[in-house]
Chain A
Amino acid sequence: MPKEHANWSPYDNNGGTCVAIAGADYCVIAADTRMSTGYSILTRDYSKICKLKLESLMEKRIRNWLFAYLGVELASQSFRRIKDKCDFQVYLCRFMVWEYLRADKSFMASSGFQADVKALQKVLSSRHLIYQHQHNKQMSCPAMAQLLSNTLYYKRFFPYYAFNVLGGLDSEGKGCVFTYDAVGSYERVGYSAQGSGATLITPFLDNQLKSPSPLLLPAKDAVTPLSEAEAIDLVKTCFSSATERDIYTVSSYILVFSFSYAFALSRGVNESSRDQKINTRLELD
């Protein structure tokens, strides 16, 4: 008789869908909050998005100072427009602003095996902390993208079963999205979907966003032409559609993080409005 006992696997797929869209000066990153195993739901309120940033005291000071100096009105406009309007003194402080603004620009959304995802987030956070101590600044999003790839490949032969999208702003303030497989292959794209609903969402985004082929020469910009609000709307549509056909995705709660220079500045003004915007917990019907 064949042996009849429980068996185990070191991996599980806890499902979930992640979407990110890059725009000219913003990036939207979103994920659903369901965590499942097999046909069972474990919890309906689990965040798959990880903020890769620790705000230092110095940054807080820069932020406060910026607001005192620039004033709320100017500060809440987009950075490009600030640059046009700013007087010389403001121009001088641009470098500091730059460093500050670039700072909290990495968000990672992951689906796959939750325990591996958590381990990966812990590794990235501690590597980021070391980076901050060594370089006295936050890691840029493209640097974080490379670090994530290396971290994944380091475990090439016992992989993290994690499917990630990394979203943020690059050093020019342009939105950027990096998309990965479990062993670290990655690519910078204009938009991406990962996880159990990716097969449903990706062709929809391809259709809606009509991004230029990466084969074109000279290379065309991959960022989407949408406004930030339009992009957030599109993300909502993606989730409500995927929910219809993917049992591992649910759109009743999704987490959307959206940020741009304008936003990074405006958040110092009003912490509560910041929470509303950065951590929009959308309840779709």
Chain B
Amino acid sequence: MPSCLSWLQNRSLVSTAGLYAFGLSSDAINLLSVNQSAKALFQAMDSLLSPEGDSQRTQYPYVTGTSVIGIKYKDGILMAADMGGSYGSTIRYKSVERLKQVGKHSLLGASGEISDFQEILKYLDELILHDNMWDDGNSLGPKEVHNYLTRVMYNRRNKFDPLWNSLVIGGVKNGQKYLGSVSMIGVHFEDDHVATGFGNHLARPILREEWREDLSFEEGVKLLEKCMRNLLYRDRSAVNKLQIAKITEEGLTISQPYSLKTFWNFAAFQNPTVGAEGSW
């Protein structure tokens, strides 16, 4: 595709120095001959300048995970997510881990584009690594990680290149429980219980009814399972293979994948048209 930039290049109006200015690293420029690098750069610039059709930015997600639910309980935070990875309406992957540890005190759960989530985990690894200093006694807590993620998400939406996720972050540090959420455009908040996507419609009404501050671990898990079962019945992307994670002052444990007992013989499931006469 001809562009004003290749026109500039043909007339040698863009120098190697110019390439630095466009943000290409010196390694990248040295590796390629100037001609090749210019070509690559201009192709990249073309796609930035052209309409969204051949854009390099995420315009829609490919492989997605569905809801994540997080709650506070007596000793810390509990989180649940299933392990499905959907490629549109196909459930393409069935062992995707969507609950991950971040630093010493935090737990991150993600719904949305799986590859973006893995990219976010890379950013967080880097964040924790750069923050680490031997024996300084400091460590990033869930509040800090949440704040960092809100900035990353908002920044990417400002660049019109969003990370296609809704994130739930929870943790305990210095006896303080923390549970928060961030969306792909940077909307964020804290609450006693949070849920992404369908979970906000199907699980949170249950949580609003049944959640208590002094929930025991067993009660918390039971409550989460009730929510996940409800999602399993009504969310077509949900799969019956899930993990539940617990984080307390003592540390983090993520359960082995397991399934919920289900019951599909409800009259309304077996014969959905009874009582709806006149409809198909």
Contacts and interface: CB of A to CB of B under 8 A. Distances in A.
A37 B191 CA distance: 16
Given A10-B160, A115-B188, A5 B60 contact: yes
Contacts of B183: 12, 37
Nearest to A117: B187
Contacts of A37: 183, 187
A12 B190 CA distance: 18
Interface of B: 59-61, 88, 150, 154, 157-158, 160, 162, 164, 181, 183-191, 194, 200-201
Contacts, number: 58
Interface residues of A, number: 22
Interface stretch (A41-49, A162-170, A241-249): A41-49
A219 interface: no
B61 A115 contact: no
Contacts of B189: 35, 42-43, 46, 114
A45 B190 CA distance: 9
A8 interface: yes
Nearest to A4: B88
Contacts of A115: 150, 154, 157, 185-188
A158 B154 CA distance: 14
A114 B180 CA distance: 14
Contacts of A89: none
A14 interface: yes
Contacts of B187: 12, 14, 37, 42, 113-115
B185 A43 contact: no
Contacts of B190: 43
A277 B60 CA distance: 48
Which are the 4 A-B pairs with shortest beta-carbon distances?
A115-B186, A5-B60, A43-B189, A43-B191
Contacts of B150: 115, 118
Interface string A85-125: 00000000000000000000000000001110011000000
Interface in A1-56: 5-12, 14, 35, 37, 40, 42-43, 45-46
B188 A45 contact: no
B60 A10 contact: no
